[in-house]
Homo-oligomer: A and B are copies of this chain.
Amino acid sequence: MFVDYSLYLVTDRGMLGGKNLYKAVEEAVRGGVTLLQLREKDVGSGEFYNIAVEMKKLAGLYRTPLIINDRLDIALAVDADGLHIGQEDLPLEVARKLLGPGKILGYSVSNQAEAVYGEENGADYLGAGPVYHTGSKEVAIEPIGPAGLKRIKESVSIPVVGIGGIGIANIGEVKESGIAGISVISAILARRDIEEAARELKSAWS
């Protein structure tokens, strides 16, 4: 399956300042987001499922693949296009086996060893970072910078997406690393005009 990783939006309802999640995502997709990851850290399984069902409808409307963060059960339950897991989630090989071969499996990495492990154990793409310091998430790991991103990219043959503090100001040096795309949260969701923010990033990337 061809997947366009160029502008990958990860959701974070905490960024929206009360704005409706689906409306925000719809604006982002209209502005050019190519891939969606639904991340929900503070809801029960039933609520996560309900949100994922709605997000799947929205993503389907715009033919944008929907990836679920962390929760394989939710990904299976809504027949999402894929699952993204981190180092603290289910083991990669277990997730690969249960998800099946037809779905997209993403894996978060911060160094070459994790990247190689990811490629060898079933990941379809890697989310590499944090590239820069970020306010989106509690991250204990030091930023890897564009140089770290380039080293990761060169250690594997699967697509690599940079994540962490990427925005208009640094998108140029990120792109020079040769990766497949950027994964953003606040650079889109924390902006007042979400559609315009997505459009600017899309245009800066191309």
Contacts and interface: CB of A to CB of B under 8 A. Distances in A.
Interface stretch (A18-26, A45-53, A173-181): A45-53
A57 B98 CA distance: 20
A73 B49 contact: no
Nearest to A75: B73
A71 B89 CA distance: 13
Given A72-B73, A98-B76, A88 B44 contact: yes
A60 interface: no
Nearest to A77: B94
B76 A46 contact: no
Contacts of A77: 72, 90-91, 94, 98
Contacts of A88: 44-47
18 contacts: A44-B88, A44-B89, A45-B85, A45-B88, A46-B87, A46-B91, A49-B90, A49-B91, A49-B94, A71-B73, A72-B73, A73-B73, A73-B90, A73-B98, A77-B90, A77-B91, A77-B94, A77-B98
Q: Ordered nearest first, which 5 A-B pairs have the shortest CB separation?
A: A73-B73, A72-B73, A45-B89, A46-B88, A44-B88
